[in-house]
């Protein structure tokens, strides 16, 4: 199994540009999450989804949008990139179907720089 | 809303000694999960240990154990016989239960240094 796959691994954007961070999981997990991690800091939840067609805001949703048209994919859209969005972005997925062995699986992260 | 607090930004320990990392959380749910994740410089997130809230027994995984105090909403991680490979950022995380918000929320992290 590939687990959680994020693309791209690195990206440099100019201020005002837009881009989509891709996230795909092949574990048939219901729950998917997007986080950002600023240098030396913890993970802040941007958006999450409890299933296809259902998404909700986390702590820091401003400047981002998500969609969940399939169980496997959970793309994160940045519109009008700003320097404050320079960060490392992580996608994660989890399920309660393996209780009590629930855990979250993470992608390798995307390092985004906005200049 | 659920919150997770790690009050120790940095900790250090001598190799082979024991260290305890603190975590507190706030929730109104009765059914939830707690985790400790390790993040080495590679940025990979590695599950260290998990605890189900309905279980009174503290979880253990080899040199790693937790002290779960549900009433106090405290979830500390004890690392015994510390090794150089344990050096990393450690994150405490909360996952809401079936009846709850079902969000996975992280603390701010504790950077652990192992002194040889």
Distance (Å) from the C-alpha of residue B64 to the closest C-alpha of chain A?
17
In angstroms, the Cα distances linking A114 to A11, A42, A87 are 9, 20, 9
Model pLDDT for residues A44-91, shown as the tens digit of each residue: 999 999 889 999 999 999 999 999 999 999 999 998 999 999 999 999
Nearest to A111 by CA among A16, A58, A39, A40: A39
Q: Is B93 on the interface with A (CB under 8 A)?
A: yes
**Residue B75 pLDDT:** 97
The pLDDT confidence band at residue A2, using thresholds 50, 70 and 90, is confident
Mutant choice from B90, B92, B105, B107 vs A, greatest count of A C-beta within 10 A: B105
Scan residues 18-47 of B and list those with Cβ closer than 8 Å to A: 33, 35, 43-45, 47
Place of tokens 């991690």: A37
Edge-to-edge, what's the strand order for the sheet holding A76-78? A4-7, A19-25, A76-78, A64-66
Model pLDDT for residues B33-62, shown as the tens digit of each residue: 899 999 998 989 999 999 988 888 999 999
């Amino acid at each position: 199994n590939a687990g959680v796959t994020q693309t791209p691994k690195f990206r440099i954007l100019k201020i005002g540009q837009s881009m989509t961070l891709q996230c795909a999981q092949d574990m048939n997990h219901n729950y998917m999450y997007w986080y950002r991690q600023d240098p030396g800091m913890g993970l802040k939840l941007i958006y999450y989804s409890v299933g296809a067609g259902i998404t909700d805001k986390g702590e820091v949703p401003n400047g981002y949008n998500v969609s969940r048209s399939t169980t496997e994919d959970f793309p994160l859209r940045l519109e009008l990139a700003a320097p404050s969005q320079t960060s490392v972005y992580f996608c994660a997925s989890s399920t309660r179907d393996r209780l009590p062995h629930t855990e979250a699986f993470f992608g390798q992260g995307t390092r985004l720089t906005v200049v | 809303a659920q919150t997770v607090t790690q009050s120790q930004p940095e900790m250090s320990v001598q190799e082979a000694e024991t260290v305890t990392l603190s975590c507190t959380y706030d929730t109104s749910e009765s059914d939830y999960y707690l985790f400790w994740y390790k993040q080495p410089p590679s940025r990979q997130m590695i599950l260290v240990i998990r605890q189900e809230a309905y279980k009174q027994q503290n979880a253990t995984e080899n040199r790693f154990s937790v002290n779960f105090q549900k009433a106090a909403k405290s979830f500390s991680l004890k690392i015994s016989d510390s090794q150089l490979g344990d050096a990393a950022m450690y994150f405490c995380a909360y996952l809401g239960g079936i009846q709850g918000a079902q969000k996975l929320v992280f603390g701010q992290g504790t950077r652990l240094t192992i002194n040889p």
